[in-house]
Every structure is written in structure tokens, then in C-alpha cells.
Structure 1
Amino acid sequence: MQLEVRPDPAEVGRARRWARSRLAGSGIEVDEPLAETLILLVSELVTNAVVHTGCPAVLRLSLPGVAAETATVRLEVADASSRAPVPRCVDGDATGGRGLALVDGLADRWGWSPEGAGKRIWCELDRCDGDAEGAAAYTGGVSAYEGLAFEAV
């Protein structure tokens, strides 16, 4: 599944809504920690593409089927900029610059590769068993951020 994204900050919200709407057929409930993490990662990667490249992008999402108890969820954002993604060190007052640090902390794996004249940034989340014990076991790297407050603006 894929969504074409225009180079407009309003597209980030549209990308989140699109990703949420795709969860229904995957067996991932929208209130699962995995779903919440996935939506945050969509937001961060699409924001990076829109803000830092000024180019259209393509959001791709690979979700497990309904019957899958264990599977990997893969998210990709491809854009026409060949500029490599670079994690930044920012001070506490900065209003941006933490996106890739969040991706690194929340995804089980992430990376990027050249794609045509541009690049593709990807991340993966491993899904645990569908039972309550398995759902509780999913952390997606969040434990590294325990005790920190996050604010969505």
C-alpha cells in the first residue's frame, strides 16, 4: 500500500489518518502500543520528507495479515532528494531536530538507501503474539525513553 504525499506540512496529518485507516485489515487494533508507535513513526518520517526536502514523497506501508500472530510491520518514505538523513544534536529549547532520534529509539530497525535520484528511509517494528502477554511485551525501543515526557503539538 502506498500514499503519495505533496511537499506540504498539512500532508503529515493526512498520512497519519491514511496509516490508521490501513490498520483495520491487518489485525492491529488502533489502540495497541504497536499502532501508536507506527503512527508516530509515520508522522516523523513524513515530516522529515516534507520539511527537509521540499519534494513530493511516497509513503509505503507493509502490514501483516489478520491471521498473523508474529510479523514485521515495515514503513518506508521515498523522496526525490539525494541528501542523506542526518541525526542532529539539538539543545533542550530547540523545536525540531529530534525526529531521527525518535525513529532510532522507537523502531526495531531503521535505515536508508539511495532510490533512483532520491532516497528511501525505512523502519521496521516487530509484532509480538496477539495475546495480552505478547502485547505487553512489545516495547519498540520505548524503554530507552521511560521517564521522559512527550508532547504532541
Structure 2
Amino acid sequence: MAAPEAQPEHAFRNFSVRLSPTPRGARLARLLTAEQLRSWGLPLDPARQIVAELAANAATHGRVPGRDFRLTVYVIGATLRIEVTDTCGDRPPCPQPPSDDAESGRGLALVEALADRWGWGPGLRPRKTVWAEIAVAPEPSSPCSGPTSGLSKET
């Protein structure tokens, strides 16, 4: 039997989905990202929080009735890139400090704090893409799920 092929050091994995620009669509973006990262064996945080903030912004500030936003998550080597493309390209993201008593307005500040790099760029009119990148490594195996290291079961 042939040995399994080793994963290339710079494996490329991606996931992309269109979602409705609603609170439900933003929540689904977070849940789908978490499931995809689990399947890739990657840690959920801080990517899950970054997706939550970017998707909420797309649903709140980038919403155009009848037009979905797109979530794209991909890994190249040890970098996870998250992109959220909305259909409101005329409004660039403008992180501004909210007032102390504001109930919102901290999303991009959180993205900036959690991501290694982030930014935005115009897409095909009338779209814009806000992106964030973080360094990732596979989650270590659980100590209870690997080989027993020579331990024998007593009867």
C-alpha cells in the first residue's frame, strides 16, 4: 500500500459564499467560517471575530437592497485571508473612534487589533472589498486523541 502523499508546504485552501446583507447573513458568515476552519484544522479565533465584524459592517453599512455580500476565506501557506465584498463601493471603510457611550462603531478597531494586516480596495463597480490577514498554524492534536505511547490496557 502506498504511503499517503504529504501536503505541500504552501497548500491553498479556499471557501467563498454569497450571503444576504442582513443580521442573519452576518451570523451565518461567522458560523460557516468557524465550520470551515474546523475542517481545515485551523484555530477559530481571531478569525471568527474578524468575520463577525466585517460581515456585520457589510450588512449594516454596505447594504444595497437585493444585492448580497460575498465572504471569501482562504489560506496560502501560513496566512489566512478573510475578504468581505459588499455592493456599496462608494463608501470606503472609515474607522473613527466612537464616543464612550456609543453602542456600536468599534468593529474596524477590533479588526485592526486582531489582524496582522487589514485594508480595503475597490472592486468592480459598485463593490468594495475589506480584507484582513492573520498568521495561522494548525491546532495541535488533543493529547487524548493520539496514539497511546506504548501504554497498555490492564485487564
Q: Do the two structures share a fold, i.e. TM-score over 0.5?
A: yes
**Runs of 4+ displaced beyond 3 Å:** 128-132
Once the two structures are superposed, residues 40-71 of structure 1 have per-residue CA deviations (whole angstroms, 9 ceiling, x without a partner) of: 0000000000000223210000036xxxxx60
1:46 is aligned to 2:55: yes
Partners of 1:88 and 1:130 in 2: CA distance? 35
Equivalent residue, structure 1, for 2:132? 123
Equivalent residue, structure 1, for 2:21? 7
Residues 129 and 46 of structure 1, relative CA distance in 2, 3 Å threshold: closer
Q: TM-score if structure 1 supplies the norm length? A: 0.74
Equivalent residue, structure 2, for 1:96? 104
Q: Report the Cα offset of residue 10 of structure 1.
A: 1.4
Partners of 1:72 and 1:95 in 2: CA distance? 32
Partners of 2:16 and 2:139 in 1: CA distance? 25
Contact 2:41 2:138 in 1 (8 A): no
Equivalent residue, structure 1, for 2:71? 59
Equivalent residue, structure 2, for 1:140? none
Residues 128 and 20 of structure 1, relative CA distance in 2, 3 Å threshold: closer
Within-5 A mapping of 1:110-149: 110-117=118-125, 118-128=127-137
Identity of aligned residues (%): 34
CA RMSD of aligned residues (A): 1.8
Greater percentage in helix: 1
Partners of 1:4 and 1:127 in 2: CA distance? 24
Contact 2:119 2:131 in 1 (8 A): yes
Partners of 1:81 and 1:12 in 2: CA distance? 16
Aligned pairs, how many? 122
SS in 1 for 2:97: coil
SS in 1 for 2:48: helix
Amino acid across the alignment from 2:23: P
Amino acid across the alignment from 2:25: E
Partners of 1:24 and 1:89 in 2: CA distance? 33
Partners of 2:47 and 2:122 in 1: CA distance? 23
